[in-house]
Amino acid sequence: MFKHRVRSYRELPLRFADFGVLHRNEASGALSGLTRVRRFQQDDAHIFCRESQVKDEVRKALDFIDYVYQIFGFTYELKLSTRPENKLGDDETWDRAESALKEALDEFGKPYWR
């Protein structure tokens, strides 16, 4: 999707979404409700942005999720996920990324845990 033509930083942020059909072969008797099915639709999103845009893009994604979940009456919990032990990249980049995520969650105003 992204690579079909040359892109410029001036186009950022770029937001792509895809709704793909996934299949899996569940064991007999395991099919039940919405969690164990043979076929389901999975949404996938990718946002390409500059580092200076990360916080705002995360905040917009949180606002969108909250909007949709409210329509359906869903509840949710937020968790700030931080760098794993087997991370890629340097600590300085991770520090900036985690800071942007934390700021977006703080501005969002809903409780979250680490």
Q: Write phi, then psi, for 20 (nearest 5 degrees).
A: -110, 150
**pLDDT of 103:** 97
Percent of the chain residues past pLDDT 70, beyond the cut: 89
pLDDT one-digit tens code per residue, 30-79:
656 656 677 778 888 999 999 999 999 999 999 999 999 999 999 999 99
Q: What's the chain's average pLDDT?
A: 89
**pLDDT of 22:** 80
Tell me the HSE value of 45 on the side-chain side, using a 13 A CA sphere: 11
Going by C-alpha positions, the residue among 97, 93, 60 that lies closest to residue 80 is: 97
Q: Write phi, then psi, for 101 (nearest 5 degrees).
A: -65, -45
Tokens read off for 9: 């930083």
